[in-house]
Amino acid sequence: MIIILKLRPTAGQIAAVEARVRELGYEPHKIVGEIRTVIACVGDETENGDLMSIKSMDEVEQVMPIQKKHKLVSRDAHPDPVHVPVGDLRIGEGSFHVIAGPCSVESREQILAAAHGVKKHGATMLRGGAFKPRTSPYDFQGLGKEGLDLLAEAKAETGLPIVTEIVSETHLDMICEVADVLQVGARNALNYSLLTTIAQSGKPILLKRGLSATVKEWLLAAEYIVSKGNHNVILCERGIRTYETATRNTLDLNAVAVAKLETSLPVIVDPSHGTGRSDLLLPMSRAAAAVGADGIIIEIHPEPEVALSDSAQQITPDEFGVLMEGLKPFIEAAGKQLVTA
């Protein structure tokens, strides 16, 4: 961090700033120019006090960070790509994975049909919500523990690893018994208590971007997880809320490209939530591959028209097969290898 003092500070003013820097746990290094005096602060910002508080001192003009706040997930700290292990799979640079399954687990017949359908067409992981946070308290909230049991049965029959959402710390133990990847949804993307708690499970975490979160906030949410010793984070762009009404959300593929430059973590895309429209899943999946994503997560339902949640953005297993075929050339053009079950 660099502290820029106001014009021609007195020796007493400089000494006061240096003293405050030391109180916060840093070592000040004074650089005196003809007009300006600058104090460089050396120390670990993750363990010491917040130097930005020094801005309130009268003799200080500006406090400038020279390091990214998301230090642990940045490419500066981790220049080599991070490959997140999920069972025998490795999610990250060079490969392209497709996660697929229903928005929510509704019945044994539904989840087993979806699981076998997505495996048939090449998905490497099965998604499905046992606990569903919904905007309305009257909408279907998931089957809870029964849904987890059905996901476990689907995993036993197909061998597909399970990706399921966690909405509360109180569910952690029961979900960890079944899930291979813990999904943090958009509503909880900035729930720092939840992030720090589930990080300590050691499970891979699929972190969706918040509805209105900036890329910086998204990466700092990942930093919460990594700072607790869990480096197995998969970022997921799922669309943000804008003024546009033609789609459910605006799928921000700019954010995917930025995240790939800023961090070494794998980045996947959710075109189902990003658009809310089944007819846009193929073009947006292709666009995700073209921009450098490491995979996609798609919502599949044996009968989308009777789905208890998000029916408009789900497709059938056969339609999923068509999507996979249409996606392959774009994955190859991006220089990645499609991994299939």
DSSP sequence for 123-180:
-SEEE-BSS---SSTTS----THHHHHHHHHHHHHH-PPEEEE---GGGHHHHHTT-S
Mode of pairing for the β-strands spanning 27-32 and 37-42 = antiparallel
Instruction: Please report the pLDDT score of residue 47 as a whole number.
Output: 67
Instruction: Please tell me the predicted confidence (pLDDT) of residue 158.
Output: 98
b/e code 140-150 from CB counts within 10 Å (16+ = b): ebbbeeebbbb
Predicted pLDDT at 165: 97
Task: Give the residue-averaged pLDDT of 77-83.
Answer: 84
What pLDDT band is residue 134 in, cutting at 50, 70 and 90? confident
| Separation CA 132–CA 205 (nearest Å) | 17
Q: What are phi and psi for residue 9, nearest 5 degrees?
A: -70, 150
CA atoms 239, 117, 183, 220: torsion sign = negative
Compute the mean pLDDT over every residue in the chain, rounded to the nearest whole number. 93
Instruction: Report the pLDDT value the prediction gives residue 66, as an integer from 0 to 100.
Output: 66
Q: What is the pTM of this model?
A: 0.86
Total residue length of the chain:
341
Predicted pLDDT of residue 67: 66
How much is the average pLDDT of 208-218? 96
Domain with CATH 3.30.70.1140 in the chain: 2-64
Kindly tell me if the per-residue pLDDT of 46 is higher than 80. no
In the prediction, which pLDDT does 70 show? Answer: 77
Task: State yes or no: pLDDT of 325 exceeds 90.
Answer: yes
CATH code, 2-64: 3.30.70.1140
* 292-314 pLDDT per residue, tens: 999 999 999 999 999 999 999 99
84-338 topology per CATH: TIM Barrel (3.20.20)
Where does CATH 3.20.20.70 sit in the chain? 84-338
pLDDT of residue 64 exceeding 90, the answer is no
Question: Residue 85 has what pLDDT?
Answer: 97
- Burial of residue 333, with CB atoms counted within 10 A of its CB: 0-12 exposed, 13-18 middle, 19 or more buried: exposed
